[in-house]
Amino acid sequence: MPSVINDSCVKCGACASICPVSAMHDAGSQLVIDPDTCIDCGACIAECPQGAISNDSEATAEAIKFNAEKAATCPSVAD
Ligand code: SF4
Ligand code: SF4
């Protein structure tokens, strides 16, 4: 059950700096999480000042699809 970023993201980079598996990718207007890389540690959820990250059980279908599709094509965010 990977974490998912929604469109409240302001690209502050805080989540990417603490993710142990570098699961964040830059989708232009926001960061997204690669569901195949995320190990569901949950650390990024508490780290986000915007409350933009949730477990996919609480995310919209649109956000889940957007994260998966963009993560597959957009560059990883190096901390
Ligand atoms: S839940 Fe953990 S592994 Fe998954 S994106 Fe957030 S910090 Fe990275
Ligand atoms: S911590 Fe939140 S606002 Fe900052 S880049 Fe990550 S998802 Fe976006």
Hey, is 2 helix, strand or coil?
Answer: coil
Q: Give me the pLDDT at residue 56, please.
A: 96
pLDDT lower than 70: segments of the chain: 79
- Report the CATH number of the 3-73 domain: 3.30.70.20
Distance, CA 4 to ligand 1 centroid (Å)? Answer: 9
What are the start-end ranges of the H helices in the chain? 14-18, 43-47, 61-73
Which atom of ligand 1 lies at the shortest distance from residue 47's CA? Answer: 7
Q: Give me the pLDDT at residue 78, please.
A: 72
Q: Give me the pLDDT at residue 37, please.
A: 98
Task: Give the predicted TM-score (pTM) of the model.
Answer: 0.96
Q: Give me the pLDDT at residue 15, please.
A: 98
Which atom of ligand 2 lies at the shortest distance from residue 47's CA? Answer: 1
Q: Give me the pLDDT at residue 57, please.
A: 96
**Residue ranges of domains in the chain:** 3-73
Q: Which residue among 9, 15, 25, 44 has the greatest number of ligand 1 atoms within 8 angstroms of its CB, and so is best to mutate?
A: 44
Q: Indicate the Cα dihedral angle 24, 40, 36, 30, nearest 10°.
A: -30
